[in-house]
Amino acid sequence: MLVRPSIWNITDIVRQEKLDFLSELSRCLLRRSPENSHQEKEWDAFLGFLQKYKKVAIGKHERFQFFILPPKEGSSFNCTFACYRERRKPSECPVGKASGSTSHVIEDACSPCNKEAVIGAQTCDLSAKASGRPEKTNVQNISLESNFVHANPSYLKTLGHTHSGWSFGAIAEFVDNSRDAKATKLEISIDMIFSRVVGREIPMLCIIDDGCGMNHQEMLQMVSFGHKQPDADDPNRIGRFGIGFKTGAMKLGKDALVLTQTTNSRSIAFLSQTLNEGKDNLEIPIVSYYRYGQFMELDKQNETLFKHNLKAIKEFSPFDKYFIGQKVGLFSKDGTGTHIYIWNLDEWGPNYSLQWESGITGGSSFHQGDILIRSRRVRARPGQMTQMVPLDYSLRSYLEVIFLDPRIKIYVQGSQVKSRPLARSLNRTVVENGTIMGKLVQLTLGCNQLEWEEANCGIFLYWHGRLIEAYKRVGSMMHNGDRGRGVIGVIDVTNLMAEDNGHVWVHNNKQGFQDCEVYAELEKWLGERSDKYLDEHVDKVELKAGSGVYKPDNEWVQCDKCRKWRMLSHGFNSKTLPLQWFCYMKPFNGECEVSEQEVEPGVITISSKRLGYSSTEDPEEIKCKLSRQAVGTSKNMGENDSSHTMDDDQAKNSSAQTRKRLRRSCRKS
State the pLDDT at residue 394: 96
Q: Structure pTM? A: 0.64
The Cβ of residue 533 has, within 10 Å, a number of other Cβ atoms equal to 22
- 53-85 pLDDT tens trace: 777 777 765 566 777 778 877 776 666 777 767
Provide mean pLDDT across the span 472-477.
92
Q: What is the pLDDT of residue 589?
A: 81
Q: Is residue 556's pLDDT more than 50?
A: yes
pLDDT tens, residue by residue, 85-105: 765 554 444 433 333 333 333
Of 34-43, 89-98, 217-226, 406-415, where does mean pLDDT reach its minimum? 89-98
SS (H, E, C) 54-65: CCEEEEECCCEE
Q: Which residue has the higher pLDDT, 365 or 518?
A: 518
pLDDT in the model for residue 26: 57
Chain CA centroid to CA 558, Å:
23
User: At residue 133, does pLDDT exceed 50?
Assistant: no
pLDDT of residue 22: 56
Q: How distant is the alpha carbon of residue 115 from its chain centre?
A: 54
In sequence order, the β-bridge partners of residue 355 are 372
pLDDT exceeds cutoff 90 at 491: yes
pLDDT one-digit tens code per residue, 170-198: 999 999 999 999 999 999 999 999 888 88
Quick one: average pLDDT of 420-430?
89
Task: Provide the pLDDT for residue 280.
Answer: 87
DSSP letter, residue 360 = P
User: At residue 42, what is the residue type?
Assistant: E
pLDDT at 627: 55
Region 613-627 average pLDDT: 51
pLDDT given for residue 549 in this prediction: 60
Distance CA(114)–CA(380), nearest Å, equals 76
DSSP 8-class letter at 396: H
**Cα-only R_g, the chain:** 37
Nearest to 256 by CA among 206, 294, 201: 206
Distance between CA 127 and CA 139 in Å, rounded?
Answer: 17
Give the separation between CA 195 and CA 198, rounded to whole angstroms: 6
Inter-residue contact 432 to 601 (CB < 8 Å): no
The pLDDT tens digits for 12-63 are: 444 445 555 555 555 555 444 455 566 677 777 777 777 777 777 777 655 6
- On the question of pLDDT at 632 being above 80, the answer is no
Structure confidence at residue 146 (pLDDT): 63
